[in-house]
Structure 1
Amino acid sequence: MEFYRQKVELMAGGKSFNNEDFEIDFVVEFGNSSEPNISKVMIYNLSDQTIAAIRAKAYIIMNCGYGMSVGNILTGKVDKAETYWEEVDKVTEIYVGDGSFEWNFKRINKTYASGSTSKLIVSDLASQLGLEIAELNLEKDITFPRGRSVSGATQYELRKLVSETGSRVFIDKGKLYIRPKNKGTVTGFVLNVDTGLIESPQKITEEDKKGNSINKYNVRCLLNHKITTDSILVIESKTANGKFRVVKGRHTGDFITECEVVPM
């Protein structure tokens, strides 16, 4: 693979920026927690007029890669933006929420009829969040003979119902995913020293709530826009070999992707 000609394309507040004309740094978070990820983008020496355009709730899109291989690593809305001086440089620091506005502020008060299923209710709640639904696939579908009432924060009721079905919910690049706990997205990507793996993955052993040992690995590689939440990768290394699912990670402005993976 060709790992040169690093490219950053940023669209913020209706304006476009790239790393040829501007210094851009970033920490883009991703993960399968039900809480939306908050990422940070720093861009240097903008005019006051441009800074004013990057206001709260403005859309942010960031694409990164090498040469012609450029892809999306961040889609969201500005949570807040701050500008400060760092010696001779004026730094604008932008915090970006991945679906956080839709997730945090929607509320519901509704009763579903007897015989309603969890799939029907989850589908209705998900649609009311205003996010694109990338996948809605429950581990099991529960029928409620007496119906079901939901009241309060939409995201809370959604998380509760999804958990009852043995499934999980998360947001990635502005899209909502609801799927069984062990399912991932097949990428067909093989990660090794020739495709960007920087060092052998480090093994971590943790215990789950039942006291069972779980093996995870920390992985560092050159920035790869194909790696995100639930990506299924084949890893070839001295310490980890086989098929793994990405649990969480981050892309950083030094063009490194770090992630935590579990065996499939």
Structure 2
Amino acid sequence: MLLKKKGVWLASVLVLNSWVGGALAAEQDSATLTVRAKIIPGACKIELFGVENGNILDFQGIKSSELIRGDKVLPAKNISVSIKCDADTKISLSTTDDKKGEAEAQNDRFYLRNTLGDTILGFYKIKIKNDSVIVESSYHNGKMPIFYSTERAADNIWHEATSSLFFSPQGSVMFNEISIAKKNDSINVPVALKTLMIGLEVEPTLNKITGSAIAQNIEVEGKNTFTIKYL
């Protein structure tokens, strides 16, 4: 899982002046020392639970006859995302649709394609179960609501989710990332946390089959990447 890590380089210059009774030449009157350091954010680890090896969520086989009559919504499955940091750390979580290709990003849908990737066969939604968010931090331990930030919001404004919402791929107009926040002077500000557990519900929909019935198995696959961002 790719993690975005941001570090800040600090540079400072210390000039050492010395006077040795005028005996030294002019070019030896001073020396420059450059001091450097790097601030590294607390390391966080992300894991998925409720999936098979390789982070696979398998919905097994679907009979093509069920798709001739129309689109088929498959029974949803529950998984969870766990984030553990070695210290209280301000983070947000976003996701990308790795199967989008040249298609337009959808507000709350991730594409399902055949294994060759040339045909869109459906989509899936990832519902964030707001009442299942568990936080451990110096600020609070227990359940907390999710906050989200839209791509079009100015000054990185965070809005509280008053009900469950669906993950939105980056590039859509719905929202860009989620975090845990608290109100500070009427503004929601992300808080540092040590652990975060989010319950998710994944629900695929397969498109109706048009034309003749299929003669062989068709492998259907969707893929999205969750990414931690250090704030």
Could you say which structure has the higher helix fraction?
Answer: 1
TM over 0.5: no
TM-score, normalised relative to structure 2: 0.23
TM-score, normalised relative to structure 1: 0.21
Could you say which structure has the higher strand fraction?
Answer: 1
Which structure: larger Rg? 2
